[in-house]
Amino acid sequence: MRRRSTTDQYIDLLLEALNARGFFVEQDPDLSRWRRCLEGMPGIVGINPSFDPAHHDFAPGGPQYWLRLSTIPNHPAHQMCKTSEVAAVIAFRLIETGRGGWIDWLRSGRLFSEKLGPLGTTKILLPRECNWTGRIGHHGGLVVAEAYRSQRLAYLLTHLIRAISIKRYGVDYHCGLVYENLYRSGIPLRVDGYGYARADLAMDGWIGAVGRFARMYTTQIDRAGMLAQIEAGPVPAMLAPEQTIAA
């Protein structure tokens, strides 16, 4: 029997942790369904345009998908509720940067939209440290429903989607974009948070595709860093169902 890879074992541990909490994961290549799912979740004030088919011509079956985390019917963790409901979602797309690198995707506005004009360069910061080139896994659109924000679902889903991107696409980097309030919380760089290696201020001002003034930080981890995390295994405390720290 063929021995399962370290990455497969890592993914299994994360899926087992979700199952123990009474959740199951579905993968869906249609990001229009991700959008509709978000629109039906209470408290959503906007849709991340980086993953919105209204802003991009995603090829059917292309390197993009979303994960839908739902409750398992009749599971003790959910008072034996007979129906399933969505607890959290997260989206992913693979970006082949070309020679211009990640900075060109930010400066041109292509990351946010292929159907709107360029964002322009006013107050858009371009730190040299984040000009990565190659195959970049980009995640976003992470939302955890309020009723389930006490079970470290954000940790489990961000690490799960990164491990899948290593296994399936062999990415050189993985990155995200976070607003300043999330950056200031420390969650993107915490070992028991998103687990990124660094975060750099990339945008400060009017962001056309988002439709407001904002400060946004780009987060990143390289392939070596991701593989080191996988080799070390998930943070044990984050796997325990009884964990009660807010996601």
DSSP 199: E
CA dist list (Å): 126 to 65, 106, 155: 28, 8, 28
Domain 6-234 has CATH 3.20.20.70: no
- pTM of the predicted model, to two decimals? 0.90
Sign of CA dihedral 163, 169, 174, 176: negative
Classify 92 as helix, strand or coil.
strand
Please state, as a whole number, how many other Cβ atoms lie within 10 Å of the Cβ of residue 33.
Answer: 14
What is the C-alpha to C-alpha distance for residues 32 and 70, in angstroms, rounded to an integer?
Answer: 18
pLDDT by residue, tens only, the chain of 247 residues: 456 799 999 999 999 999 999 999 999 999 999 999 999 988 887 889 999 999 999 988 889 999 999 999 999 988 888 899 999 999 999 999 988 888 888 877 888 888 766 554 445 555 556 778 899 999 999 999 999 988 999 999 999 999 999 999 999 999 999 999 999 999 999 999 999 999 988 888 877 777 778 888 999 999 999 999 999 999 999 998 754 433 3
Backbone torsions φ then ψ of 85, nearest 5 degrees: -140, 155
Backbone phi, then psi, for 146, in 5-degree steps?
Answer: -55, -35
